[in-house]
Amino acid sequence: MELLLVLLVGLLYSSGIYMMFRRSMVKLLLGLLLLGNGANILIFLMGDLAKGQPPIIDEAEKVFLGSYADPVPQSLILTAIVISFGLQSFAIILLKKVYANTGSDDLDSLNVQDKDI
């Protein structure tokens, strides 16, 4: 299971970075999306996977005896997902506006203002 997730994280990061190198704005956004998802799964993976062991203490016990699934990474991921949702929806609207303004999806067409020093 870990190995599978490790491969998935690697795949998401590499494809995300590859997409960011493309000239198309939409691909840039998709790249950022993939990177964000890769980071979330990485956090999940770093919290040591434990299958079917909810972090609930038995009534009879005072402390955890066995191993249990760490709830902290999951709450971190939840927070990160919410934040990236907000950022991504903003970015999508922005790209739509940029496309409406410039009529182009090419990142190189955005350097008009950089020519005048």
Residues contributing to the site for another protein (CB under 8 A): 20, 25, 28, 32, 35-36, 38-39, 42-43, 45-48, 70, 72-73, 76, 79-80, 83, 86-87, 90-91, 94-95, 97-98, 101-102, 107, 110-114, 116-117
In the complex, minimum distance from the CB of residue 6 to another protein, in angstroms, rounded to a whole number:
12
Nearer to another protein, 51 or 60 (CB): 51
23, two tokens:
């000239």
| Cβ(34)–Cβ(12) below 8 Å | yes
Nearer to another protein, 65 or 113 (CB): 113
C-alpha 47/C-alpha 72 separation (Å) is 8
Nearest to 39 by CA among 64, 16, 62: 16
In the complex, minimum distance from the CB of residue 51 to another protein, in angstroms, rounded to a whole number:
18
Distance of CA 107 to the CA centre of its chain: 22
Nearer to another protein, 55 or 97 (CB): 97
The sign of the dihedral angle between the CA atoms of 105, 107, 112, 113 is positive
